[in-house]
Structure 1
């Protein structure tokens, strides 16, 4: 019985140390990914695409440029 308690205690101590190390490793990796410039670029692009798709304002495209100061625009057709 005494051996079982010692084995259980040793397993608990070693497991918690390994578990904490693994948790710290995962935590550092997660923070590195979330603060990465590449991740921020992807998130910004996704947010912009979502905002564009939810926008109620019509997108305009150039129909005809009359001169350097005057351009005629028409709304783009929304695809369903």
Structure 2
């Protein structure tokens, strides 16, 4: 058990600090950014970019690495 030798007071201090860090908006933001980057790197679908629209209802997309600009 964490903090058992130091006593209950130290254990509570560690627990409260860990809880505060885990619930911090900055921590949540960092976790979300990390998850998104991991998701993007694991995504096997190519990123698509729109080309010139054919008409008002039709849009053609091509993989970003094949786009000629």
TM-score normalized by structure 2?
A: 0.70
In the alignment, what sits opposite 2:21? 33
Aligned residues: CA RMSD: 1.8
Q: Distance in 2 between matches of 1:68 and 1:26?
A: 60
Task: Give the counterpart of 1:68 among 25, 42, 56.
Answer: 56
Q: Which has the higher strand share?
A: 1
Q: Distance in 1 between matches of 2:26 and 2:56?
A: 39
**Which structure 1 residue ranges, 5 or more long, are not aligned?**
1-15
Q: Distance in 1 between matches of 2:63 and 2:56?
A: 21
Runs of at least 4 residues of structure 1 off by over 3 A?
A: none
Q: CA deviation at 1:62?
A: 1.1
Q: Which has the higher helix share?
A: 1
**Which structure 2 residue ranges, 5 or more long, are not aligned?**
none
